[in-house]
A and B are shown apart, each in its own frame.
Chain A
Amino acid sequence: MNILIPHNWLKDYIKTSASAQDISRFLSLHAFSVEKTTEVPRLASLSRDENDYIFEIEITPNRGDALSVLGIARELRAILPMQGIAADWVAKANDKQSSVQEKYDLKVEIKDKSLVPRFSAVILEDIQIKDSPDFMKQRLEAVGTRALNNVIDITNYLMFDKGQPMHAFDYDKILGAKMLVRESKKGEKLITLDGMERTLPEGVIVIEDGESRLIDLCGIMGAKNSEVDENTKRVLLFVQVYDPVKIRRSSMALGHRTEAALRFEKGIDFDGVVPALWEAVALMEKYADAKVVSKLIDILNVKYEPKKVAVDYGKINRVAGVEINKETVDKILQDLGFVFDGGSVIVPSWRYDDIDLAEDLAEEVVRLYGYDKLPDKLLAGEIPQQVADPVFKLEDSARSYLKHQGFFECYTNSATNQNLAGENAIEIANPLTEDFAFLKTSLLPQLLAVLEKNQGYSDKVKIFELASVYLAKKGDLPEQPMRLGLAVRGAGYPEFKGEIEGLLEELGVSIDFDIKEFGDTILAAELDFKKISHSPRRTKTYAPISSFNSIKEDLTFIMPENRDIRYHEISEAIMSADKRIKKLQFKDIYQNFLTLSIEYLDAAKQISSEQTQEIRKKIFEQLEKKLGVKLKV
């Protein structure tokens, strides 16, 4: 989450010679990324001559404590001295509690204590609703919030200043002076301050008054029916800590992400609640003539115990990889607000949710010490045990082979629509689009769609994809085997088949595959890559090269028209005819004339043409007897 922090406002807390550029740079390197530094004209009521700067800072989700001017100032107080720049804390804690006159009260009932870990409020009267002072209006504007009136502005101002969201109710609109904090029922409605009617899902934290009206969408936005307006005389100033998860889920579900919700959901400084409340009271006394007319209502629903973490200097150095001396470690932790107690530190209340372990302290120390001061090294140490799975090499070989055969490699999505995903496809429970709702069970439908889409590219297109498919498995994760999908348009059957055979030969394996035909022009095949990587690979062994020459010849045979014959029957018949037949290759087929190339070799002596004639005769006999295949004369 990004926040805006005016440079000027920081000066309420720290006095330093660091320039805006220094602040921006050092914050980025040691705490939070300053995304932008904008120069703006000075605020007339505040600075004398120089222009002001507004920092836009990205605060990481674990650091709700830094979503305020105070939070950023606290970081700078620790960061700047490490850079040799003094940063003196000039803010004074407001410990003055106003004199209390107990004229009014509020009955509070909390259904479930976990909803509101801390509930604080105070009632003020004699309120004069008017414009806020200029400095407040200008600062609110600088952080992107419109000034409304003094009471509302003070609550907003303190949210940006201290990180504590607060709300002001018109006390007289809380009917029965009674509040019931509970979770919403599904379908309940209320109109928020922005005038929108909102229908609530179940489980949103709300407040009901004595007349059963919903008067607050807690932690997100107040309700219209209890708002402060120009006639307001009495105000209930309301400062809370809510269950952060509930606030986030509610605010997301309602699609209403307010500044307050974004802060509540990241956690609130438990110890900061009451000081922030008194600060607001002080401002209301000063700028709205308010008087406190109730006791402080402060309900603690959880017991807050300070947290201690042991400081492990050895661990800090091990994480850093260099030695950071004890003095530096101690200074950094102290500057960040940690209080030493023996060998441990007490975690500051604003970092309560974020710091638990020695590693957490190490991070604090090393980031302030400076990652840029650490040297760059490569790993040394023992030899790792892992051996690469050979499948990766096979995949690379397959890719490279196919590329050189003219195939384009495609990557399609893991999920697709129901039609393309195939039968029994696994469904995504929360898809973003219909085209990404079912996990594919085959690579081919999407590859065929790619061919379809690229119709105009060329008459001949060859594509492939090497990816997982997802096959449901009862009671377990789906099987996610790698497949190799190939699809071609405009290539002949023998060509496509030959490319796959060539690929398998290149990979050194022999597995069966099916070629599917789609219409007249499209062919496709899907190979199980796991089968490829698990089948025995041909090992390359040396066979002595014969010192005799072979004899090669082409023979053309006539295939009988009415007999169902497979090529392997022919090749087996020929190869079994004589052991001097060294090689047989399919050469051509024209009508029913099949031409084969045959190579004869005798390993023991030079083969003669008389001998080949004798072998040939055996071939003819075999073919004719077994298959009715004759030589073409």
Chain B
Amino acid sequence: MDLKELLSQFKNDLKNISSLENLEAVRLSYAGKKGALAKMLKDIANLSAEEKKTLGKKINEAKQEIQEKIAEAQGGLAGKKSALPMDKFLKTLPGKKPVTGHLHIISQAISEIVEIFKPLGFTRARYPEIDWEYFAFEALNIPSTHPARDEWETFFIDAPVDKKFGRQVITPHTSNGQVREMLKGNLPIRMLNISRCGRRQEDASHLQTFFQFEGLAIDKGVSITHLKGTLEYFVKNFFGPKRKIRLRPYDFRFTEPSFEVDINCDLCGGAGCKFCKGGWVELGGAGMVHPNVLKAGGIDPNVYTGFAFGWGIERVYMMKGGIKIDDIRHLVNNDLRFLEQF
């Protein structure tokens, strides 16, 4: 058989191949160690050097062609290997996933919140959880006669009283960071303080320790319009583009004016239902920084104004659609069957 014939026979064989196993058999019969080409090479051993050279070259070229064609066919057959039913079944089994753990829902919420405020220029900060009464109250324009100062709201630490700063408390809000941030003396300020707080209260919607995130912006010319815009931006990014806010008058000692911020109810879309008040749900407090607080932070209230808001991380996250946690205490129970859901 000459080379030409061999090649055309090979091409014919190739057409009828339906599996990689068959292909391998074909490859061996032509290009294998004991295949047709090897035999041909052996046959030309007795020819003259000149002839050996030309024929040998042709045989090698043919071998190369065959190998290329085989490789090509291999590519085409790659998917057809598992013709067997068991092979097919194996591919329907679930993959072997690497074992991964779970971040706590509070960490996830914090990341989300930080990412939303970052493009607005708010820098994350953290202030002491155990702080002086001064920073938690006095500096915030909350005099010692205010109800929030009574023992049944705030945890006090069993430690000596400081002449200047008073008792040590578990700060009941992140606002203790306001004056501490101002005293650093860097203006303007855009701070996002995320810290742990504590209050003497525990039930399905209150934890003795909880996290708050506190926004504080101080600059020349900051007005209620900026507070509204910032919160609207947050709400749309955090809860969804269809959500919007409204401000209602409220009273906090450390802001003037003070607001309660409402978000439109996602269950009724704002029409009013039994889960909301006339289409609105309370989100949290906010306000324009009280001039006495600016003064306590060494800032001239006639030059600078600012806004602040401080909301519970857990509370805000649980208001997101779809999370449906009925009891906030799950968050610190650390039952892995709970944690694995997030």
Contacts and interface: CB of A to CB of B under 8 A. Distances in A.
A506 B32 CA distance: 50
Given A31-B249, A470-B130, A371 B259 contact: yes
Interface string A325-338: 00000000000000
A609 interface: no
B173 to A, nearest CB: 15
A366 to B, nearest CB: 6
A478 B130 contact: yes
A545 interface: no
B209 A415 contact: yes
A462 B101 contact: yes
Contacts of A407: 101
B305 A381 contact: no
A359 B291 CA distance: 8
Interface in A294-341: 318-322
A427 B157 CA distance: 6
B198 interface: yes
B121 to A, nearest CB: 5
B222 A379 contact: yes
B182 to A, nearest CB: 12
Nearest to A35: B277
B226 A379 contact: yes
Interface string A376-416: 11110111111111001000100110111111111111110
Given A371-B247, A381-B220, A406-B101, A411 B120 contact: no
B336 A457 contact: yes
A432 B219 contact: no
A453 B339 CA distance: 13
Interface residue tally on A, bucketed by range: 35 or more
Nearest to A315: B302
A106 interface: no
A407 to B, nearest CB: 4
Contacts of B100: 403-406
A387 B223 CA distance: 24
A376 B107 contact: no
Interface in A583-611: none
B257 A430 contact: no
B166 to A, nearest CB: 12
Contact of A30 (B147, B207, B217, B249): B249
Contact of A29 (B219, B225, B246): B246
Contact of B124 (A245, A392, A427, A478): A392
Interface in B203-232: 207-209, 217, 219-226, 228-230, 232
Interface string A415-435: 100000000001111111100
A431 B130 contact: no
A387 B337 CA distance: 39
Contacts of B123: 384, 386-388
A428 B125 CA distance: 26
Contact of B249 (A32, A402, A430, A475): A32
B198 A360 contact: no
A30 B247 CA distance: 9
A35 B225 CA distance: 26
A372 B246 contact: yes
Interface stretch (A55-63, A160-168, A189-197): A55-63
B221 A381 contact: yes
Does more than half of chain B's interface fall in helix, strand or loop, or is it mixed?
mixed
Contacts of B246: 29, 371-372
Contacts of A403: 100-103
A376 B228 contact: yes
A619 interface: no
A371 B217 contact: no
Given A33-B260, A410-B339, A468 B228 contact: no
Given A25-B278, A33-B248, A428-B157, A371 B223 contact: no
B317 interface: no
A282 to B, nearest CB: 34
Contact of B251 (A63, A319, A382, A409): A63
Nearest to B220: A381
Contacts of A91: none
A404 B102 CA distance: 8
Interface in B281-312: 288, 290-291, 305
Contact of A477 (B168, B221, B339): B168
A221 interface: no
Contacts of A363: 249, 256-258
A374 interface: yes
B224 A366 contact: yes
B209 A426 contact: no
A134 B10 CA distance: 114
Contacts of B9: none
B102 A408 contact: yes
A412 B329 CA distance: 11
B224 A320 contact: yes
Interface in B3-19: none
Interface stretch (B42-50, B51-59, B72-80, B186-194): B186-194
Contact of B160 (A30, A439, A470, A475): A475
A30 B102 CA distance: 45
Given A366-B257, A378-B226, A359 B290 contact: yes
B250 interface: yes
B260 A386 contact: no
Contact of B225 (A376, A384, A389): A376
Interface string B116-149: 0000110111101111100000000000010100
B158 A371 contact: no
Given A25-B278, A457-B337, A409 B107 contact: yes
B194 to A, nearest CB: 9
A412 B332 contact: yes
A365 B114 CA distance: 34
Given A367-B249, A379-B219, A382-B219, A413 B277 contact: no
Nearest to A321: B223
Contact of A385 (B188, B290, B336): B188
A389 B124 contact: yes
B104 interface: yes
A384 B158 contact: no
Nearest to B201: A432
A377 B228 contact: yes
Contact of A415 (B208, B220, B251, B256): B208
A480 interface: yes
B238 interface: no
Contacts of B128: 477, 480
B336 A386 contact: no
Nearest to B231: A376
B159 interface: yes
Given A359-B291, A367-B257, A426 B159 contact: yes
A577 B168 CA distance: 59
Contacts of B36: none
Interface of A: 24-25, 28-33, 35-36, 60-63, 245, 248-249, 252, 318-322, 357, 359-360, 362-363, 366-367, 371-372, 374-379, 381-389, 392, 396, 399-400, 402-415, 426-433, 436, 439, 450, 453-454, 457-458, 461-463, 467-468, 470, 472, 475, 477-478, 480
20 contacts: A29-B248, A35-B277, A321-B225, A322-B223, A322-B225, A371-B246, A371-B249, A374-B225, A376-B225, A376-B229, A376-B232, A382-B219, A400-B103, A406-B99, A408-B339, A426-B157, A431-B155, A432-B201, A432-B208, A477-B128
Given A379-B226, A468-B129, 12 more contacts: A319-B257, A322-B225, A375-B225, A379-B230, A383-B121, A384-B190, A402-B101, A413-B209, A414-B129, A415-B170, A415-B208, A480-B128
What 7 A-B pairs are tightest by C-beta distance, nearest first? Answer: A321-B223, A321-B225, A363-B257, A60-B251, A385-B186, A376-B229, A386-B123
Interface of B: 98-104, 106-107, 111, 114, 120-121, 123-126, 128-132, 145, 147, 150-152, 155-160, 162, 168, 170, 186-191, 196, 198, 200-202, 207-209, 217, 219-226, 228-230, 232-233, 246-251, 256-260, 277-278, 288, 290-291, 305, 331-332, 334-337, 339-340
